[in-house]
Amino acid sequence: MQNRYCAKSIGRHKIMINAESILALLASKNYQVQSKDFDRLYNNISSSKGISPFEQLSQILSGLEINTAIVKQGPVEDAPPEAFPALIFFEQKWMIIDVTDDGEFKISSNGRLMHTFETVAQIPTSIAIWFEMQIAQQATITHDSTPSKNLFGIIKRLVFRKSRWVFDIIVATILVNIFAVVSSMFAMQVYDRVVPTLAFQTLYSLVIGVSIIYSTDFLLKITRSRLLDKKSSQIDKELADKVYSHLLSARIDMLPNQLGTLTAQISGIDSVRQFFTSSIVFALVDLPFSIFFLVTIYFIGGPIAGAYLAFFIISLFIGLIAQKRSQLLIKKLTMRSNEKMGVLVDSIRGLETIKVNGYERHLQQSWNNINQSVSEYSLAQKHISNFATTVSQSLGSFSYAAAIMIGVHQIEAGNMTMGAMIACSILGGRVLGPVGQAVSYLIQFETVQQSADLVNKFLEVPVERNDEKSFVFPTTKPKSIEFMDVQYAYEGAQINQVDIPNFTVGSGERVAILGKIGSGKSTLLKMLAGLYKPSQGLIKFDSAEIWSLDKRYLNRHIGYLPQQAELFKGTLLDNISMNRKISDTRILNIVNKLELDQITDRNEKGLDLPINEGGSGLSGGQRQMVALARIFAQAPSIWLLDEPTSSIDQELQKVFKEQLASELSDTDVLVFSTHNPKLAMELATRIIIMDGGKIIKDVPTSRVELRQPKVA
């Protein structure tokens, strides 16, 4: 096979890391060192010839007897989030690079900020050195407190985590509203003093003054808009990160089985975030200022304020009624919209089956029925919203007319001037606008509340590892697996899918699981892989319960192949390496062993062959072999394979058996399920048979005989 894959190479820089940068990095990781010891060690190591910065830092850690971290090196874009702060070779010297809460990359030297980059892609090609934390035998990691399961709570925390931006926006909004009062005063002065006397000098002075105010107002609005947009974008990114992180850490067996429902739950964050970030300034500033304008109108025009106050109260009352009437409709609309998403996802995923079985007409009818319901509920909800908005606008017009009428009578009575009436009408518009917005927000809130409830249900799904718990990271690989009174039932199910009082697999064993469909084979493997948590009982790796082990330890030592081989959008290499640091030689060796070179040799890109979502473009057997190559590249200590040969032909099955035997070490554990008794006999030293979630037979392979089919 042609070698078309070239890994990124990392050169050896001759420039040593300065002592200040190393001390700063150690301090950022909470390592306390004695200055005299460090200086002596640094000078001795740095004076060595031919040593690289990577080796320099590694030897310093060793000399300081720091054994809870190892040194890693690579391109800065490859550094994981937990690597920062780190060292970066930038502008011909080593500096500290860190990531702020806003996601910006800051490079500093000797405590001075040198450069700031919004994304890692903007940083010129650079080498980074960082610490990867290692946990000693029986040491533990303490995670952050449990994240909020309420979406509004998460957004609120993100919004007010750094409240300076809120303060800036509030100040800008207050000034803008004050300038609105100045505008009304300008109109009043012009009509009361300039027009009757034609005092042009006064007019010009007023125009110059108000022009300065209008310019400032323009700049404040632009600045406020940019601040709000930037913060909204940051919140959007962090919120999406938190929700997606929860998806990746959630217990698989607790997630909704309906993909459409799960997708709808997660996608609800967009409408909630947009509503929250746009309404916060309104709730804090714009609406309270309506009351301020009402008070100002009262001092200028007296009874005119009554017309606007009546409008203010009635409009809010109408908004509350509309919100109440929308509740049931929006619940039904949300439910049917989720069903619509589910039908769409099922149709896309099963289009081949639909076409082959002539199921199009039935699904088309279901789709149309759901759309009809969605349309009816949506139309009814829009009628309520439009009615409330139209009534509010009409009341605003009536209140304006009433204010003019009252103003004319006040002028006639000599209680106010023409300019004062015009000023009141200008300020009245500042009352009408926020109240109209309030009605709109009240109606929108019910829709947003439904979306938030969906996201909250998703956030309530428990995570695999409780964040308040500490996890063990042993320094040795697992040698045995033990089931102790283990039972497992799916959420809401009355019958146990797995019920195993006792089951042990020792180092070096090869175990085949046989049984009919639904006997619990796959569930047993998922529990061994740490994907499903027992409803009762314990699963132990050596002396440690599997759910007390650190996830990184399990990822290192457990290789799991599901029944359905899942490939991801990226390259063939990405799907094999899964972002692990694997040498070119190792990758090419695996590709050749599993005959994947038949794929790479047929295209110019080799291992850089693009893979589409779901692995479309590859056959089922090819996807299966890529998934097997992924396990080979991982080189785990425990191999868990669910129907590993279900999609491959006899020739590839032979290749798989030969190469699996060569990859397994004497101490590795192999547990696999299969419907092929011959494969079980060839690979296993022990065979267990399951039925109804229970192990009904557990015998050495030597005691099993394959029955020959009868010849007619």
> Quick one: CA torsion of 648, 649, 650, 652, rounded to 10 degrees?
-60
**Distance from C-alpha of 129 to C-alpha of 21, rounded to nearest angstrom:** 11
pLDDT for residue 2 is more than 50: no
Say yes or no to pLDDT of 623 above 90. no
CA distances to 190, 311, 413, 422, 673 from 407, in Å = 18, 16, 10, 9, 87
Residue 467: per-residue pLDDT: 56
| pLDDT tens digits along 311-334 | 888 888 888 888 788 777 877 887
- Report how far residue 339's alpha carbon sits from residue 590's, in angstroms, rounded to the nearest whole number: 44
User: Contact at 8 Å (CB) between 621 and 543?
Assistant: no
The radius of gyration of the chain from alpha carbons, rounded to an integer in Å, stands at 34
Could you tell me if 220 and 172 are in contact, meaning their C-beta atoms sit under 8 angstroms apart? yes
Q: Estimate the share of the chain in helix, then strand, then coil, as percent rounded to the nearest 5.
A: 60, 15, 25
pLDDT, greater one: 562 or 438: 562
CB 319 within 8 A of CB 438: yes
Query: CA-CA distance, 695 to 511, in Å (whole number)?
Result: 13
Dihedral sign (CA 42, 47, 53, 54): negative
What is the average per-residue pLDDT within 30-40?
77
The contacts of residue 262 (CB under 8 Å, 6+ apart) are 255, 256, 458
Give tens-digit pLDDT for 465-479. Answer: 765 566 777 767 888
Structure tokens, 542: 């050596």
pLDDT digits (tens, 9 = 90+) for 482-502: 999 999 988 777 788 899 999
Q: Report d(CA 597, CA 629) in Å as an integer.
A: 12
Residue 470 pLDDT: 65
pLDDT band at 670 (very low <50, low <70, confident <90, very high): very high
**Res 134: pLDDT:** 57
Kindly report the average pLDDT of the chain as a whole number.
79
- pLDDT tens, 575-613? 888 877 777 788 888 888 888 888 887 877 888 888 887
At residue 77, the 3 state secondary structure works out as helix
Please check the confidence at residue 228 and state whether its pLDDT lies above 80.
no
Query: Residue 381 carries which side chain, given as an amino acid letter?
Result: Q
pLDDT (0 to 100) of residue 509: 93
Share of the chain above pLDDT 90, in %: 9
Choose between 481 and 286: higher pLDDT: 481
What integer pLDDT is reported at residue 145 of this predicted model? Answer: 38
Given this model, what pLDDT does residue 279 score?
A: 61
Identity of the highest mean pLDDT range in 353-367, 444-458, 672-686:
672-686
d(CA 83, CA 103): 14
Query: How confident is the model over 258-265, as a mean pLDDT?
Result: 66
- Cα–Cα distance between 82 and 469 in angstroms, integer? 19
The mean pLDDT value for 42-66 works out to: 79
Does residue 35 have a pLDDT over 50? yes
Residues in the chain: 712
Distance CA 168, CA 170 (A): 6
Average pLDDT over residues 133-154: 50
Residue 141 has pLDDT above 50, yes or no: no
pLDDT of residue 454: 75
Reported as type and span, the H/E element at residue 427 is helix 418-459
Q: Are 25 and 85 in contact (CB under 8 A)?
A: yes
